[in-house]
């Protein structure tokens, strides 16, 4: 499922586990390729030259604007994606129904565009069940 430069894989349904793949997000584009309301809508727009910490904050902000709460990224550390320097981090957030989720993100913005993988699942059962399989790709 997905548009060009965007894919979604799931095993049990998007609300139970999702691996989202975003590639080649250009400067000015929303981090999740969401529709913006116009040029003045800053949203969570990618900008070239962001540090790993700033990219992680941008992804967190993108999640917050999609009705998720208590969003945070932790354990940020260096990693590579497609042979490019980047980072990986753990995510945690709650949906609007109060269900707690955990996630992993692997990202790079080294070439002036942003690419990342993001795995999310409910913290209880599903996240740990599939974590090892997902981490093979990370």
Is 130 exposed, middle or buried (CB count within 10 Å of its CB: 0-12, 13-18, 19+)?
A: middle
22-55 pLDDT per residue, tens: 999 999 999 998 766 666 567 789 999 999 999 9
pLDDT band at 68 (very low <50, low <70, confident <90, very high): very high
Taken in order of first residue, the domains within the chain and their CATH numbers are 6-137 (3.40.1000.10)
Predicted pLDDT of residue 137: 77
Query: Using only C-alpha atoms, what is the Rg of the chain?
Result: 14
Distance from the first to the final alpha carbon of the chain: 20
Predicted pLDDT of residue 84: 94
Distance, in Å, from the CA atom of 74 to the CA atom of 55, rounded to the nearest integer, reads 13
71-101 pLDDT per residue, tens: 999 999 999 999 999 999 999 999 999 999 9
Q: Share the mean pLDDT of the chain.
A: 91
Vertex 48: Cα angle to 7 and 50 (nearest 5): 95
Average pLDDT (49-63) is: 96
Best CA proximity match to 115, nearest among 83, 92, 75: 83
Distance, in Å, from the CA atom of 64 to the CA atom of 103, rounded to the nearest integer, reads 14
Name the 3-class secondary structure at 89: strand
Whether the model clears a pTM of 0.75, i.e. scores above it, the answer is yes
């Amino acid at each position: 499922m997905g548009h060009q430069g965007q894919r979604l894989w799931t095993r049990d349904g998007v609300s139970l586990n999702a691996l989202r793949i975003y590639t080649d997000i250009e400067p000015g584009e929303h981090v999740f390729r969401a529709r913006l309301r116009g040029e003045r809508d800053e949203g969570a727009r990618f900008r070239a030259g962001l540090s790993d910490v700033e990219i992680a904050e941008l992804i967190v902000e993108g999640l917050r604007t999609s009705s998720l709460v208590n969003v945070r990224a932790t354990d940020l550390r260096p990693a590579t994606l497609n042979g490019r320097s980047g980072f990986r981090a753990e995510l945690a957030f709650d949906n609007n129904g109060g269900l707690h989720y955990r996630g992993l993100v692997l990202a790079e913005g080294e070439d002036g565009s942003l690419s990342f993988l993001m795995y999310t699942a409910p913290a209880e059962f599903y996240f740990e069940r599939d974590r090892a399989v997902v981490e093979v790709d990370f």
